[in-house]
Structure 1
Amino acid sequence: MEIYFLGTNAGIPTVQRNVTSVVLRLLEERRSFWMFDCGEGTQHQILRSPLRLGKLEKLFITHLHGDHLFGLPGLLSSRGYQGGTAPLSVYGPPGLKAYLEISLSVSQSRIPYKLEVVEHEGGLLFEDEHFKVESALLEHRIDSYGYRVTEKDRPGSLNIELLKGYGLKPGPLYGVLKSGRDVTTEQGITIAAADVLSEPKRGRIVTVLGDTRPCGNSIPLAREADLLIHEATFAHELAKMAREYHHSTTVQAAEIAKEANARQLILTHFSSRYSSPEELGPLLDEARAIFPDTQLAEEFRLFPVERSRGN
């Protein structure tokens, strides 16, 4: 599980940075990746990355401002031309379906795969045996949503040496024990799963917050997250401007991470006024003064989602 940024700028692209798009790589877990937002030019960014559109499984739109979805029609069309045949689900606020229907029909774009568009107003959006995705409304000029991706706990590891001592060879009974159920061997020996199975591996949590002022729903979405991605459009000296434009500052993002007891914070969605690493450096310093485990998003850089210690 890794985070990969395709765009980190707010509002408009610059020479240095593209507009918003975040990827959650799940190549080991699902052999796919999920995307959060798809600003204009995202498919060009993908061409410069190791990603392949055919592996895109789910796409989540935080809100319907152009810098977060103008790249979507082109990306959906290109996915078909690039051999993408697997189904794709796109989630977002009401209005997303109409936007896509008009864009794709007027341009006569051909989508040769099953495209599911799910409009939502928060709540549980997806769940299977491995993951669940929840969403809640944030506070922006239009409806904007945050997303919380929870990886479910995985069974612990079997003590192979101990099982050999019982005379049990690899086979179907290993799977039964792995599921937490006791087994009885052909020799009549009962093996308790608890005796041969280590503690479950705690699932990881990734939270992606769309454009927002600090608000009540940010905390439960980010609670105990292993990785929180939060917008930091402005340095804190521009807190008044941030509030007027319904955005957050570096300090506010760090305060959310601290109150939610997140483990790591990555700041993104930077105003184009911060065009160089030297100008971004003070933003990082501001956040780290409150929440030390903070990093700045960088395009085309992988950020591993680490498990908690002991898991």
Structure 2
Amino acid sequence: MELWFMGTGAGMPIKERNVTSVALSLQRRRGTFWLFDCGEGTQHRLLHSPLRLSRMEKLFVTHLHGDHVYGIPGLLSSRSSLGGTDPLQVYGPPGLRELIESSLRITGTHLDYPLEIKEIEPGPIVVDGDFTVEAAHLDHRIECFGYRVSERPRGGKLNVELLAELGVPAGPAYGELKKGRDIVLEDGRTIRSVDVLGAPLPGRIVAIMGDTRPTAGAVALARGADLLVHEATFGDDLAGKAELYGHSTSVQAAEIAFAAGVERLLLTHFSSRYKTEDLAELEAQARAIFPHTDAAVELVPYTVFGLPR
């Protein structure tokens, strides 16, 4: 699992930053990626990443402010033009269906794939064999959601030294054992997966927040996450402005991370008043409270390692 930020800006793009969007790459597990928000210009930024738009599987929208949604119609159209034929699921608050369907209808856009738009309520919204995604309300000026992506436990590590001692040839046999399936060797011996496979690895957890004032809902959604993405629109000196406009400061984001007991915090959604060199100060403010904090950089991969729980 990797996170790629397509945009880390708030309100409008500037030379150094695009508006908000973050991709969760699931290439190794599913061969796809998921997108969280889609500000204007997102598809342009994707062209500078290894992610192929035709392999986008899901889009999660936190809220309907323009800096989070203006890129959706163009992205949906380009996915079709680039050969995307698999279904695409889009999740977000009420009003999302009208926004998308009106844009596609008025512009005469035809999609060559099934588009499933799901207007959500708090609670589990995706449950499959690999992941569960939960949504919860945040505290912004309009209805806004945060998302918690929980990976199911992964298979344990193969004991390759023992396999070599047992004379098991590397290759497909290893793959079968990794999947939990027993194998029979040419000499008739049965190798049981349970004997050569370590304990299951705990699934990784990523929490991605939309725009929000500090709220207990964000703490609950991020509880114990390996990685939290939280907005830090303003520095600590502008806490009053953040409260007025429904945002958080760098310090408040760090306080959420600390309260939730997460492993790592990535700050994003920076006001256009801050240039690239200014972000070090926001990062320092947050690190004074939660040391494992970084100001997210666009088009740089952030690996979600996961730790024993």
1:45 and 1:185, CA in 2 relative to 1: closer, same or farther beyond 3 A? closer
User: In the alignment, residue 261 of structure 2 is paired with which amino acid?
Assistant: N
What is the CA distance between 1:81 and its match in structure 2?
1.0
Give the CA RMSD over aligned residues.
2.5
Residue number in structure 2 paired with 1:204: 204
Residue number in structure 1 paired with 2:27: 27
d(CA) in 2 for partners of 1:237, 1:264: 24
**For residues 80-126 of structure 1, what are the alpha-carbon distances to aligned partners after superposition, in whole Å with 9 as ceiling and x for unaligned?**
11111111111001110011111100110011111111110121111
Residue number in structure 2 paired with 1:57: 57
d(CA) in 1 for partners of 2:83, 2:163: 45
Residue number in structure 2 paired with 1:280: 279
What is the CA distance between 1:137 and its match in structure 2?
0.5
Residue number in structure 1 paired with 2:300: 301
Aligned length: 309
Structure-to-structure mapping, 1:138-287, within 5 angstroms: 138-162=138-162, 195-274=195-274, 276-287=275-286
What is the CA distance between 1:47 and its match in structure 2?
2.5
- The runs of 5 or more residues in structure 2 that have no matched partner are none
Give the match's secondary structure for 1:217.
helix
What is the CA distance between 1:57 and its match in structure 2?
0.6
User: In the alignment, residue 137 of structure 1 is paired with which amino acid?
Assistant: H
User: In the alignment, residue 84 of structure 1 is paired with which amino acid?
Assistant: G
What is the CA distance between 1:260 and its match in structure 2?
0.7
**For residues 35-87 of structure 1, what are the alpha-carbon distances to aligned partners after superposition, in whole Å with 9 as ceiling and x for unaligned?**
00001111222223332210111100000111100110111011111111111
- The runs of 5 or more residues in structure 1 that have no matched partner are none
User: In the alignment, residue 215 of structure 1 is paired with which amino acid?
Assistant: T
Residue number in structure 1 paired with 2:113: 113
User: In the alignment, residue 197 of structure 1 is paired with which amino acid?
Assistant: L
1:83 and 1:219, CA in 2 relative to 1: closer, same or farther beyond 3 A? same
What is the CA distance between 1:162 and its match in structure 2?
3.7
d(CA) in 1 for partners of 2:10, 2:117: 25
d(CA) in 1 for partners of 2:287, 2:30: 33
d(CA) in 2 for partners of 1:215, 1:284: 21
**For residues 164-200 of structure 1, what are the alpha-carbon distances to aligned partners after superposition, in whole Å with 9 as ceiling and x for unaligned?**
6667778999788656688999999997765433111
**For residues 252-282 of structure 1, what are the alpha-carbon distances to aligned partners after superposition, in whole Å with 9 as ceiling and x for unaligned?**
10011111110010000000110x2322111
d(CA) in 1 for partners of 2:99, 2:51: 26
What is the CA distance between 1:13 and its match in structure 2?
1.1
Give the match's secondary structure for 1:57.
strand
Q: Tell whether the 8 Å contact from 2:16 to 2:276 is kept in structure 1 after alignment.
A: no
d(CA) in 2 for partners of 1:10, 1:29: 31
Higher deviation after alignment, 64-73 or 183-192: 183-192
1:197 and 1:47, CA in 2 relative to 1: closer, same or farther beyond 3 A? closer
Structure-to-structure mapping, 1:47-86, within 5 angstroms: 47-86=47-86
d(CA) in 1 for partners of 2:63, 2:122: 12
d(CA) in 1 for partners of 2:290, 2:208: 17
Residue number in structure 1 paired with 2:98: 98
Q: Tell whether the 8 Å contact from 2:205 to 2:306 is kept in structure 1 after alignment.
A: no
